[in-house]
Each structure stands twice: as C-alpha cells, then as structure tokens.
Structure 1
Amino acid sequence: MVKRNWKMVLPVAAMLVLPLSACASNPNNGGNEPSPTVSASNTDTAANAGAASTEPAKEPVKVVWWHSMSGELGTAADKLVSDFNASHPDIKVEGVFQGTYDESLNKLKASMDSKSGPSLIQVYEIGSKFMIDSGAVTPVQQFIDEESYDVSSLEPNIRSYYTFDGKQYSMPFNTSNPILYYNKDLFTKAGLDPNKPPATYQEVADAAKKLTGDGVTGASFAIYGWFMEQLLANQGKDLVNNGNGRDSSASESLVNQEAAVKTLTWWKGMVDDKSVLNLGRKTDDTKKAFLAGQIAMTLDSTASLRGIVDGAAGKFEVGTAFLPKPDASSEGGVVVGGASLWILNNKPAEEQKAAWEFIKYLAEPAVQAEWHINTGYFPITSKAYDEQIVKDNLAKYPQFQTAVDQLHASKPGTASQGAVMGVFPEARQTVEGAIEEAFTGKKDVKAALDDAAKQITEKIGIYNKTVAK
C-alpha cells in the first residue's frame, strides 16, 4: 500500500478524533528442543553441543497492542493476551490501554514521526476511512492472501464493514448493534402482550402512550447519532452519497433525506407528548432509568445486554426486540458497531507477522466464544456458536438470540454495510446537535437536519481535499 505523508492527513485528524459523549492451543515446552545425546566417541560433537547450549535463547517478537477496553472489558482483554502469550512462546503481546477510542487515535497520530506507536491498534468502526487514508496500515488482506487464510466462517455482515474495494483492511474484534429493550412486567401491567414487542414506529408510539403513567414514562432513547444512523440503515437508506462512500469517496451527507426527517419527526412527537423522556446524550443515563423501572423501553447496544439483564434480575423481566422500522415492509438492516484491529506498516515485517498471528488467535472459535460470554459482544465467527459455553450462555440469556437473529436478518447492501467518511465522529456529533435543536424547538426538524447535512458536507469536502493524492 502506498504510504501517504501523515502530516498531510493530520490537519483534519482533529475533526476525526473529537471527544465523544460517549481454545488456546496447548502450551508447549517453551520452544526448547530436547538436548542432543552426546557420544563419548565424538568429542567435536560434544564440544559443539556444549557451545550451543550456552547461546542465549532467541527473544520472542514483541507486539504492542493499543486498545480501549477498560473495566470488565479490559479484564477480559488482558486474559486473551495472557492466554495467547502462554501458548505462543515465540511472541510476546503487550496490551496497553490507551483511553477512549478518540484518545487512542490521538496518541497514534502523535506517535507516527517517532515510530513509538503500537504494532497493532484497536480502532472504532467510524475511524476506518481515516486509517485507510493515513497510509499507515498493512491491510490484513495481504496476510489472508499470503497463507490462503480461510475467512469463510467469519460473519459476512461483520466482515463486510471492514472491506473496501474488495480488500479487507482490518480484522473485526468487538462487534455490536442496537436493539430495543423493554420491561415485560410493565407491558403486562399496561395490558400489552409482553411477548409481542412493538416492531414499527407507530407500534412503538402507541405502546409508549399506554405505558406512560403512575410514575413511568413509556420510553427514553439517548440522543446518540449512532441510533439515527441505525434507524436509517434499517430502512435501507445510505447516510452519505456515492454508495454510502464505498463506490467512491463520499462528498455529501444525506442526513436530511425524507426518511431521516420522518424518523426524527416520529421521535420528537413522542418527546412532545411526554410518552418518551429526553434524558440527553448518554446511554448510561437511559440505562439507569430503565433498570430503575422509570422507563419501559429503551434503545441500547447488544454489548449492554448481559449488564442490563443482570441489573434487572429480581426486579423485572427484560424483553428484547429488533430495532423498530417505519413499517413492516421496510428494507435494510442494522450496521455493526464496535471496533477492529489494524496492523501498522512502520514496524518490521517480523513484528507485523507476529501481530497477524495474534489476530488469528483472537478469531479462533473458542477464543471468540470466551470473549463473547465475558463481554456480550458478538462472536465474529459463526463457528463460535457451536462451542458449548456459547450454547450455555444463550440458555441463560435467551434475550441475546434477538441480537443474533437481527444480525443475520440484516439484508446486505450499502446501507447495512455502513457509511464511510473521514469525518464520521464529528458528523455524528453534528447530528446529535440537530436532534437537540429539534427537541427544544430551536429549529423545526427539517431545518435542523438541513443545517446538519450542510455542515457535514462542508467538513467532508475539507477532508477530501486534505487527503487527495
């Protein structure tokens, strides 16, 4: 891959990384071969063997992996590293937490001139175009092709996000999508069927009204740009032009299209009639309200499922449903969220190859099964569902079947494959600002989205000029 000058990309890096509101193979004997048998009749051989035994053992290849997994996720990530190191004595992976995705990407940018950066980095999905345009990575497709690595079991709807122009640039690692969570007990109390959750916009609005009362509000959805992106993709609508930025670089935001206007109008209507509570941008706030029984429905990531179900244990039963659509006939599907792993090309070939070995290990079915049950993220390989621990986990958390079914039901296309633009993080914040303006009445829905689309389009233009060859 042609390397671009990082200094040409960095002027727009600040736009990209604005802060957001939000098994193992059996260990061998350490790589040491058995000591040769020394014959008394062959003193030269004995001498040579003795000399060889004093030579220092070859140092393992060091791979520095920057990630953004903290708390329980960090603990799970640390275990993956230690298990890999125990079973691969010729490689030593050092996992280093670098803060949020934005903070980690900022640190990567600052490290490039000194080459003090990582061998491997976890980057959130909306940072993908920036990583490609930087020219700082070796696409994993190179390693896939070199050894004819079998990708057939990788989930196609996950792998496709990180495939551009027919080339897979990074390996998915932690993957999620949004689902509707609802309080089955409150549904029953309101006279609603707890086993028939709302599937369309109108059904959500009707249920929210019936659920509101006696200190309970029907729903609350965080003002999160990701939700608007998903609600559009779920209708088969692209977020930007030029095939969602995949046929060629996006040059225009489509966030003011009719489907977006109708979606925000529906959302604002429920806020206005007080059947949906506006709690701001943080999903943590809506999650807390849901677990406290203050709201009956919410949108959240599938990665939050285990925490939500455990948090509601003993209080109420959690139901899960697909992300709602305007009507039952709507085409499209959800887009994967989360992050993937990128190999940096300013490291020696041996180090890059070692990073690839770690990536392959993380993609093994048993490893993905362990990662999945410990975090709630999707396994990236379908073979993980054959692992007993995954079967047991689905039995304990049947709500997760909703997430799996929704992923598999998503119809392939540029909408569900996901938008690509270099200023995605800033675009997401711009949309969040537009939603707030609509909710507060500062602007009507169409004007708020028109202004947002204009701002995003201008930023895309600046970015495209900066990275032009």
Structure 2
Amino acid sequence: MSRPWSRIGAVAMIIGLLVAACSSGNDKGSGGTGGGGGAAAGKCPLGAIAKAPRKPVDITVWHAMTQANETTLKQLTDQFNGSQTDVRVKLVNQTNYEDTFTKFKAGLGSGDLPDLVQLQDISLQLMIDSRAILPAQACVDADKYDLSDHIIRVVDYYKVKGVLWPMPFNVSNLVLLYNKQAFTKAGLDPEKPPATFDEIRAASEKIVASGAAKAGIALKRAPEYPEQWLAKAGQPYVNNGNGRQRRATAVTFDNQAGLDIYTWLASMVKDKLAVSTPNKGFDHLLAVANANTAMTIESSASLGTIVGVLGNYPSVTLGVGAFPGPLGQGGVLVGGAAMYIVNKSSPAKQEAAWRFAKFLDEPASQATWSAGTGYVPIRKSAIDLEPIKKRWAEVPGFKVAYDQLLAGATNTATAGPVIGDYAGVRKAVENALTAMITTGTPPKTAIDQAAQRANAAIKDYNVRVGG
C-alpha cells in the first residue's frame, strides 16, 4: 500500500533527480555581434577528414546533460560512433551550463577547449563575441544542408542577420504543471487548464475557496518568466529590434505590458492566491506535491523526471498545460541549448564536429532524444517516428511544449532578445522581483529599478567589447 512521502524524502528525491534537469534545461536566449552577425565568418573545412593522416578523427564534446538526458545523449553518441569509422566522439560532462561556459572562457586563454560545446541559449551573444566559433551557417552553405524540416522558429532563434551561429539541439520552453485531483476537488475541469492571467486567478480563487490547496499556484521569482510573458504579449525585451537589427543598448520591458505583469504577480501573492518561491531550488514543485498549491510552472526539459517523481504521490495526478500568460500576438520563446563548433580545432576536427552536430539533428536522433528526455523535437518529421509517437501516446503532456512552440507567432518579440550580459540583466530582474514580493516594493518602482540596473549591465558589457 503506497503512502505519502515525508517532506525530507521528497526533498531528497526531487533534488537528486531534478537538479541537473532543471539547471541544464531552464533557458532563454540571445544573439548578435553588435546587433548582428553579418556574413558567416570562417570557412567550413569540408573534405578535411579525407585528408587526415589517420582515422578515426577524435573529437571532444563538452555537454551539460545529466540523469536521463545524459543517458540518452550517450545512447545517441554510441550510435554515431558505431555507424561509421571516420569520426569518434568523446563526451565530457561539465555538470551544468554555467560551469561549461566558465571553463570555456578559461580555455580561450589556456588552450584547453573542446571541438564542440553545448551551451544554453543565453550564451549566444557571448559566443559570437568570443570569435572562437565557426558559424554553423558556413557549413550549412558549404554542405548545402537543408534546414526546411527544422522548426523555423528554432532556427531563426539562433540566427542573427541571416547567420546561423550554433546548430540547435535541445529545445525546451515553459509549461504549466497542475494537479488534476485538486482541480476536480475545486470544481474545475481537470482537462482544461487555465491559459491566461485572468484564468489563473479565477482557478486559484476556486482552489483556495474549496480547500483543494492552500494557494492556487507556486511561482518562482524567476527572471525568465517576465521574458516569456512579454514574448507572449508580443512585446520585445530590448531595443533595436530585440537586439537583432543592431546591438541592444537598453531594455524595453519597463512598458505598460511589463508593468501589468509585475502588478499581476504582486497582486496574486498579496491576495494569497500564489506562493512565491526562490528562483533556485524546488520549493515550487514541493508545493504541488504537498498540496500547498495546485499549480506551478517549470521547463519542459524537466518534464520526464517530474512525471516520475510526482507519480510517487497518491494525491497528485499530474496535468501539463500550455504556459499561461497575457493575451497578445506572440508566443513562447525558444529555450534550451545548442552546439557550437570551436574554430580553434584543426580543420579535420571542425568537419568532424559538424558531422556529429548534423547527426544529433537527424529526425531519428531527435525522436530518440525527445522521447528519452522531454525536450522538444526540432525536426518536423521526427514526430512521425515511433519513439516520440509512443511517448506522446503514453504521456500526452510531453507534446504540449511542441504544440505551443509551433502555435506561437513569428515576429520580433518571439525571436528572443539579443543581449551581451544576459546574466546581468536577469540578475537585475530577479533582484527586483524579490524586492517586490518579499519587501513590498511597489510594482512600478520594482520594474523601474530592474530596467535601470539591467541597462547598466548592458552598457558596461557593450563598452567592454567595443559595441
């Protein structure tokens, strides 16, 4: 007979299984050299492997995948290595995206660099400015590689002024997680999750009134939430065409749409309809597990592990809904990470890196990858293959992130912001959200402070790189 877990047991399980998935899958990106990329710099060395003095050509790939994600990546890598004799791939786990990028920066001076590196979407501008990568566009052009089967919004996300810089690989976005049992108890339709701010508030009011949970929703003080909400509203995050026409010099999130988001957040917490949790950690998931709330928001990259963990709670029947937010002509942003070819490697290793990056994007690879991890398949034809068809039939919630990505508009807002010091901008927003929620700073003051500090971070970065 199953029993509800203790909080200590829940924390141990969730931290042990989710820390990697959430830290390496919660993402949101940028791009552009001085507000653009221009023509693809560098030449893709096709034919270099044929001229290599010996084969296979060994390459090192740095990645940040753990748990089920790492297992699936290893499976694909073994498949690639066993399918041919020209290239042999060695995976090196750097634990998370932040550590990977820190080591990569150090390697620019020491020479300790991989041949292919997986970095999260917010690293795009930094990688372009590093001048240490061979744009994937150079190989796309030289190899006459067809991108028409890729999800166009994913490709466009990593393009700046027509140049595709990395090869997209693992794509995710935010989804709503909710307890169907709590919805039923509150008199809500468990198959119709709320899709807008107004619907979240209305559902939360019913949940609290019915006693189904102490609050409606647990919301992290996560800076990526306002980014995604503004994109859904069809509003750019920074100036100069979201930083894609020219290098961004200031944020634009301190507009009426942004203020409406901050005001909604503050009012939900003030009215005890929402519980605010730290950006780091898993308190938002524990809130659902322990019936403190009936809903939360998390990256689809963690979905596979979350389904397994929350399945241990008899009082939780997990539902997955599209990321709720404001109305507007927008959509969710592309999150996740991509593969960068390092131009410091020999020509043969660069070509080998390109071959492996192509393999990871093949429909069969993407079907296997998505089914094993919860990431969105980035090839349209992949969804017709058995691994992902079977997974989506077993857990329909896995398909939500894919559907909402395709349903979103393609415009300046949903292309995603191009920011140099993206981390600095996020820190400014997180600090403002924390002040608003925990100390009562008015929403207008909070968003103004976030914009002021974010602009300072952008200016400082641009000065340092000569932008």
| Residues 1:188 and 2:184 aligned together | yes
Q: Which amino acid aligns with 1:154?
A: H
Q: Which amino acid aligns with 1:175?
A: V
| Residues 1:176 and 2:172 aligned together | yes
Q: Deviations over 1:118-162 (max 9, x none)?
A: 111011000100101111111011111111011110111111110
Number of the residue aligned with 2:44: none
Q: Which runs of 4+ in 1 moved over 6 A?
A: 19-22
| Residues 1:88 and 2:80 aligned together | no
- The structure 2 residue matched to 1:386, chosen from 380, 384, 387, is 384
Number of the residue aligned with 1:125: 121
TM-score after normalising by structure 1:
0.85
- The structure 1 residue matched to 2:154, chosen from 152, 155, 158, is 158
Q: Which amino acid aligns with 1:357?
A: R
- The structure 2 residue matched to 1:312, chosen from 310, 313, 317, is 310
Between stretches 441-450 and 163-172, larger displacement belongs to 441-450
Number of the residue aligned with 2:70: 74
Number of the residue aligned with 1:102: 98
Q: Which amino acid aligns with 1:342?
A: Y
Cα distance in 2 for partners of 1:87, 1:435 equals 50
Q: Deviations over 1:227-250 (max 9, x none)?
A: 111011010111100011001100
Cα distance in 2 for partners of 1:303, 1:187 equals 24
Cα distance in 2 for partners of 1:430, 1:107 equals 24
Number of the residue aligned with 2:272: 274
Cα distance in 1 for partners of 2:186, 2:133 equals 54
Number of the residue aligned with 1:427: 425
Q: Deviations over 1:328-381 (max 9, x none)?
A: xx2100001110000111111111000000001101111111111111001111
Between stretches 57-66 and 108-117, larger displacement belongs to 57-66
Q: Which amino acid aligns with 2:251?
A: S
Number of the residue aligned with 1:35: none
Contact 2:194 2:324 in 1 (8 A): yes
Q: Which amino acid aligns with 2:402?
A: V
Number of the residue aligned with 1:322: 322
| TM superposition shift of 1:182 | 1.4
Number of the residue aligned with 1:410: 408
Contact 1:309 1:318 in 2 (8 A): yes
Cα distance in 2 for partners of 1:229, 1:112 equals 31
Aligned length: 415
Q: Which amino acid aligns with 2:82?
A: A
Contact 2:221 2:430 in 1 (8 A): yes
Q: Which amino acid aligns with 1:368?
A: Q
Cα distance in 2 for partners of 1:309, 1:345 equals 40
| TM superposition shift of 1:394 | 0.8
Cα distance in 2 for partners of 1:283, 1:272 equals 22
* Identity across the alignment (%): 38
Q: Which amino acid aligns with 2:62?
A: W
Q: Deviations over 1:20-49 (max 9, x none)?
A: 998xxxxxxxxxxxxxxxxxxxxxxxxxxx
Number of the residue aligned with 2:49: none
Unaligned runs of 5+ in 2: 1-22, 27-52
- The structure 2 residue matched to 1:331, chosen from 311, 329, 332, is 329
Number of the residue aligned with 2:252: 254
Cα distance in 1 for partners of 2:128, 2:272 equals 44
Number of the residue aligned with 1:231: 229
| TM superposition shift of 1:215 | 5.0
Between stretches 233-242 and 68-77, larger displacement belongs to 68-77
Cα distance in 1 for partners of 2:326, 2:382 equals 33
| TM superposition shift of 1:65 | 0.6
| TM superposition shift of 1:315 | 3.8
Unaligned runs of 5+ in 1: 1-18, 23-56
Number of the residue aligned with 2:3: none
Contact 1:65 1:118 in 2 (8 A): yes
| Residues 1:244 and 2:242 aligned together | yes
- The structure 2 residue matched to 1:200, chosen from 196, 203, 220, is 196
Cα distance in 2 for partners of 1:283, 1:391 equals 32
Contact 1:20 1:429 in 2 (8 A): no
Contact 1:306 1:397 in 2 (8 A): no
Number of the residue aligned with 1:43: none
Contact 2:377 2:402 in 1 (8 A): no
| TM superposition shift of 1:283 | 5.5
Cα distance in 1 for partners of 2:207, 2:111 equals 56
Contact 1:283 1:300 in 2 (8 A): no
Number of the residue aligned with 1:400: 398
| TM superposition shift of 1:282 | 2.7
Between stretches 208-217 and 373-382, larger displacement belongs to 208-217
Cα distance in 2 for partners of 1:305, 1:112 equals 35
Compared CA separation, residues 124 and 135, structure 1 to 2 (3 A) = same
Number of the residue aligned with 2:219: 221
Number of the residue aligned with 1:14: none
SS at match of 2:293: coil
Q: Which amino acid aligns with 1:451?
A: Q
Q: Which amino acid aligns with 2:319?
A: G
Compared CA separation, residues 214 and 177, structure 1 to 2 (3 A) = closer
Cα distance in 1 for partners of 2:163, 2:420 equals 18
Q: Which amino acid aligns with 2:181?
A: D
